[in-house]
Amino acid sequence: MRKLIVILVLVVALGGVDRVSAQEQDSVHYLEGIKYDGDTIPHVSLNPIPVYPGGKYKSKRLQRKYWRLAAKVKKVYPYAKLAAQLLDEYEVKYEAANNPKLRKKYLKEVEQKLFDQYGPELKKLSISEGRILIKLIDRETQHTSYELIKDLKGGVSAFFWQGMARLFGNNLKDEYDPVEEDRMIEEIIFFIEAGVI
């Protein structure tokens, strides 16, 4: 009786395989190949993937620290990307205005629009999230926040905002260092862009 059941199960399983393979034969997929010594070898080009050592933390405390940093970077990274995008967009219009009065008027309009749209969200950021955002803005725009304020609003305004930042332990002149100081942030950004985090 057991042999009969085993045989029936095998027949049903093999019958299902034939139907699946028949369905797969209907769809045609092409793959690039390279001829080598008369043989065709399948060839697929893949983008390079940097490999980071992960998952091995010296302690639970370091692991928690890493994931807290990852959450903060994930929160502020879209703002840094948006800042770079808006800077490119507004810079063209700003440079097109030849008259200093027109530039000042345009800058005030843009500043008010941005404060109205993003001000409430950015005010909710913690001090450490603000510090990360300052570094990520440098990463995305290739200019420190201090330089951006100085170029757009002038030296006095840049000095004022630098003083405000220093009161809260931040520095608008901080530069992004993906090799040494900000290596973990760079790793986290890679994972965010890859869709892993």
Q: Model confidence over 127-156: pLDDT tens digits?
A: 888 889 889 988 988 888 888 888 878 889
Q: How many residues does the chain have?
A: 197
Q: How does pLDDT run along the chain (197 residues), one tens digit per residue? A: 566 666 656 655 555 544 444 445 556 667 788 888 888 888 888 877 666 666 677 888 888 888 899 999 999 999 899 888 888 888 877 777 778 788 788 888 888 888 888 888 888 888 888 889 889 988 988 888 888 888 878 889 889 988 988 888 888 888 888 888 888 899 888 888 887 77
Catalogue the E-assigned strands of the chain: 33-36, 39-42
Q: What is the pLDDT of residue 45?
A: 81
C-beta of residue 140 within 8 angstroms of C-beta of residue 83: yes
pLDDT of residue 84: 87
Nearest C-alpha neighbor of 82 from the set 117, 108, 109: 117
Both tokens of 191, joined, read: 């994972």
Torsions phi, psi of 41, nearest 5? -105, 130
